[in-house]
Structure 1
């Protein structure tokens, strides 16, 4: 009686598996790009506590050229409570990336300043 040898997956199974993985990776990349392209992104670049009542916050915004943006910047105290908030309206221009420095007036001494959100002017979140 012949002894059968265990065989691994066939060549067809390897090809189909490789194609399925490639399709999954392509789909993940497409979903990731679709979720972020055309959206406003921002990055805090600096903050400076000028006094018990004032913080300067620096940040950069990347947006679609020609679109106005509204950003909400907040200052927080040592207990992470918000002690000041301001909105910075960035006018439309041909620049995709814009560097900004804004002043946030506070009710008490802040220890940090950050951008809370940025969105295109006229969207539901920026109104």
Structure 2
């Protein structure tokens, strides 16, 4: 079964629509990359529940800008409530990637520890 042809005189609007969609996709990709390239990223490497009142978290920070950062590390209970939080200063350095270890004091037993943000 052949595809139906567009009505006579509407071909230019099909071209205008296709070009508009292509421009919209290109602008979305540009804005998405522009908003994320060069920003710091972080990753929780490991955590260990030391006892009922503390958690140790190991994490690494990739900072392409080389500026000083402050990372917020939190400990979570089994119901995902926050039972401990600490802000860690990450100094500016020439190295793009750095590893850190912090021990959080908690209000009750935590089941996990993670890096929440780095700003």
TM-score of the aligned structures, taking structure 2 as reference length: 0.78
Alignment partners' CA distance in 1, 2:81 and 2:5 = 64
Runs (4+) off by over 4 Å? none
Q: Cα distance, 1:14 vs. partner?
A: 4.7
Count of matched residue pairs: 113
Match of 2:98 in 1: 98
Alignment partners' CA distance in 2, 1:57 and 1:30 = 35
Indicate whether 1:37 and 2:19 are aligned.
no
Match of 1:70 in 2: 70
Q: Cα distance, 1:105 vs. partner?
A: 1.6
TM-score of the aligned structures, taking structure 1 as reference length: 0.74
Match of 1:7 in 2: 5
Q: Which moved more, 1:32-41 or 1:49-58?
A: 32-41
Stretches of structure 1 that go unaligned for 5 or more consecutive residues are 1-5, 120-127
Tell me the SS of whatever aligns to 2:55. Answer: strand
Alignment partners' CA distance in 1, 2:96 and 2:77 = 32
RMSD of aligned C-alpha atoms? 2.1
Match of 2:21 in 1: 21
Indicate whether 1:108 and 2:108 are aligned.
yes
Match of 2:47 in 1: 47
Alignment partners' CA distance in 2, 1:97 and 1:21 = 39
Alignment partners' CA distance in 2, 1:97 and 1:29 = 26
CA shift digits 1:8-29 (9 cap, x unpaired): 253x445433322221111101
